[in-house]
Structure 1
């Protein structure tokens, strides 16, 4: 049985992650929160297409996707006014200057960490 989390139910979240097991884990967590998953996008090209065209409320972005940095996707989301968070094993140290200050989920992260960041993103949308 899925118990949605207040404030997250129906939130459309773009997931960009190239590691299939990590992606599946994040999808499971989002489903438990009641979120609608967009993607997941396993590569930069697919992520760019979804970031440009999909109806989104928020995004969780792996910083390094298939050896390419995710920042063009973050730039597009920022231009559209869609809040995003990065998922990275390097923490904020893995971010470029233009995206410092964005929420960062330090990999590996727990379900409670993802919930906290998503609530922060949900509060920013609009």
Structure 2
């Protein structure tokens, strides 16, 4: 919820949040997206990798947020920016504007 509030404060229209990868993909299919912010760990042992795969196939940029840093990112997604938790609003602004502009 905090990330959602921060993105709205930065002027983004937020779609979601989604609690599971399948929910996120369904939202992605139903909406026009300029970019996405994905938490790597969705809870319950589930990761957002399937969402990242879908976004990559569609050519939609995304940013991972994680407490694990770059080490938590699957190698297939080395092109994606990673924002280490906890992060500040200026850090979120910088990474989202650089990648979604």
Give the TM-score of the pair, scaled to structure 1.
0.75
The answer on 1:111 being equivalent to 2:89 is yes
CA RMSD, 1 decimal? 1.1
CA separation in 2, counterparts of 1:117 and 1:65?
Answer: 21
**Deviates further, 99-108 or 43-52:** 43-52
Q: Which residue of 2 aligns with 1:54?
A: 31
> How many aligned positions are there?
100
Q: Which structure's CA Rg is the greater one?
A: 1
DSSP-derived class of the 2:14 partner: strand
Matches for 1:92-111 after TM superposition, within 5 Å: 92-111=70-89
Q: Which residue of 1 aligns with 2:6?
A: 29
Note the residue ranges of structure 1 that are not aligned, 5 or more in a row.
Answer: 1-23
Deviations along 1:63-106, one digit per CA (max 9) or x if unpaired, are 01122111110010011111000011011100111011310010
State the shift of 1:45 in Å: 1.6
Q: Which residue of 2 aligns with 1:75?
A: 53
Give the TM-score of the pair, scaled to structure 2.
0.92
Moved over 2 A (4+): none
CA separation in 1, counterparts of 2:41 and 2:4?
Answer: 18
Q: Which residue of 2 aligns with 1:3?
A: none
Indicate conservation of the 8 Å contact 1:52/1:76, yes or no: no
DSSP-derived class of the 2:80 partner: coil
Structure number having the greater strand percentage: 1
Note the residue ranges of structure 2 that are not aligned, 5 or more in a row.
Answer: none
